[in-house]
Copies of this chain bind each other. A is one copy, B any other.
Amino acid sequence: MSIVNELKVGLRRGDTRALSRAITLVESRLPADRQAAEQIIETCSSFSNKTHRIAVTGVPGVGKSTFIEAIGLRLVDAGKKVAVLAIDPSSSRTSGSILGDKTRMDKLSSHPLAFIRPSASALTLGGVARNTRETILLCEAAGYHTVIIETVGVGQSETTVRGMVDSFVLLMLAGAGDELQGIKRGIMEMADILLINKVEEDNLSKARNAHSDYKTAMHMLGQTEQGWSATVGMVSALTGYQIDEAIKMIEAHFAFLLSSAMYEKQRLSQDLLWFDEAVRQSIIDNYLENVVNRTRLEEQRQMVEQGETSPLEAVRKALNG
């Protein structure tokens, strides 16, 4: 049996070793691996049912891993298969970082219904986008109904991830002061559910104030494109405070998408967006494969960067030589 067929069969059985190997193919830069990966991915769409894709975002230190482990454990205890993918464009792909991630969610990762995979480092955002999207499809093909994607809410990757998930959960801290939160502007408006984490006895009143302020803020931002009014909650992933309520909030958003038929609509528009972006990126990649094109463009870009030319002139010279 070919490797492709072997992995296909393995995925269908929900075999985690086959899933891991398929993801490694997806992340590979070798053309042969890439081809095998595409063949596997293309059969994945036929597996798909109404899975739930959840992004969990927040700055470093907000407690994303603890939160994901807390909700993940409750979901697997309820018999659901849960996959967790971490995206960190800055991380390097070492066994160290993999071990690091595993350790951070050690209870969840040892559960037979859970699958945890840290991101491969992808040099480009396009790489993050492609790998993550395909890894989600592979997990779903292997029967993981819930796929949780962890991202650091400070960079460009959130926009990409927002375009792949059904529910976007943003974790914040209470009373850290906006200057300390370090969250990028634009991230809050992506949130379907905003949760203040690390709400414990010593900061309960601070958290209540933050809760009220965030509620006002989310209200003023208006409904999402899907017509959802973002919900705001308080949790402590560490003590388990209101974690069940957080799961209910996330599931309420999922139910809203399903009942309003926004689920299919969002998925389809995400497919279309992904198609447009992938086509654009491929056309540009092909153009830049030519070393003359690439050199010319880089030279002109540098001149713009140093204020030595007008962008208009630079564009013309970059493209026409």
CA distance A275 to B310 in the complex (A): 9
Report the minimum CB–CB distance from A171 to chain B (whole Å). 14
Instruction: Say whether A185 contacts B304, CB under 8 Å.
Output: no
CA distance A44 to B42 in the complex (A): 52
Q: Which of A249-290 contact B (CB under 8 A)?
A: 268, 271-272, 274-276, 278-280, 282-284, 286-287
Interface segment among A70-78, A79-87, A92-100, A216-224: the answer is: A216-224
Report the minimum CB–CB distance from A50 to chain B (whole Å). 14
Question: Cβ of A219: which chain B residues have Cβ within 8 Å of it?
Answer: 178, 213
Contact partner of A311 among B278, B297, B310, B312, CB < 8 A?
Answer: B278
In the complex with contacts A213-B220, A219-B178, A304-B283 CB distance below 8 A: no
Q: Does A316 contact B (CB under 8 A)?
A: yes
Q: Which of A182-196 contact B (CB under 8 A)?
A: 183, 185-186, 188-189
Which of A178, A217, A220, A283 gathers the greatest number of chain B CB atoms within 10 Å?
A: A220
Question: Cβ of A41: which chain B residues have Cβ within 8 Å of it?
Answer: 310, 312
Instruction: Say whether A220 contacts B224, CB under 8 Å.
Output: no
Question: Cβ of A38: which chain B residues have Cβ within 8 Å of it?
Answer: 312, 316
Q: Does A315 contact B (CB under 8 A)?
A: yes
Which of A213, A224, A225, A312 gathers the greatest number of chain B CB atoms within 10 Å?
A: A312
Question: Cβ of A284: which chain B residues have Cβ within 8 Å of it?
Answer: 280, 283-284
Instruction: Say whether A42 contacts B310, CB under 8 Å.
Output: yes
Instruction: Say whether A282 contacts B315, CB under 8 Å.
Output: yes
Which of A284, A286, A311, A319 gathers the greatest number of chain B CB atoms within 10 Å?
A: A311
Residues of A in contact with B (beta carbons under 8 Å apart): 38, 41-42, 44-45, 134, 178-179, 181, 183, 185-186, 188-189, 213-214, 216-217, 219-225, 268, 271-272, 274-276, 278-280, 282-284, 286-287, 297, 300-301, 304-305, 307, 310-316, 318-319
Beyond the given pairs A185-B221, A272-B304, 9 more chain A to chain B contacts, judged by CB atoms under 8 angstroms and listed by A's residue number, are A41-B312, A216-B216, A217-B220, A217-B221, A271-B307, A274-B311, A275-B301, A275-B315, A275-B318
